[in-house]
Structure 1
């Protein structure tokens, strides 16, 4: 059984706390939308964007990521 993970993308300030209240704590925090983040998200995962959507073009260069928890 695959566990659904929650990914936060692009959060930098107070909006993070609002997202946690709405969706619960994230399993992964991606500093930005890049190709690596896009690859790491499974079909069953929940992805919460600070700005934009999954339809936006991912950045070619990878951001460094933070492991939540």
Structure 2
């Protein structure tokens, strides 16, 4: 099954992406090594900002803000 991953979405751009690509299967706070490991061949990756070939951040993003 092809999964859709949204990466780095924070606001209204999320709604625009859902209209264009449908709802995501996974939402990643940012592009880091952990997010990269969770993506399988053939998955669709949608970045909120930046180029499609950007390097992932080595330090992991936190899961939630409290």
TM-score normalised according to structure 1 size: 0.84
5+ residue gaps, structure 1: none
Partner residue, 2:8:
10
How much is the aligned-residue C-alpha RMSD, in angstroms?
A: 1.4
Superimposed CA distance per residue, residues 7-35 of structure 1 (whole angstroms, 9 cap, x where no aligned partner):
00000000000000000000000000000
2: CA distance, partners of 1:53 / 1:40? 19
5+ residue gaps, structure 2: none
TM-score normalised according to structure 2 size: 0.88
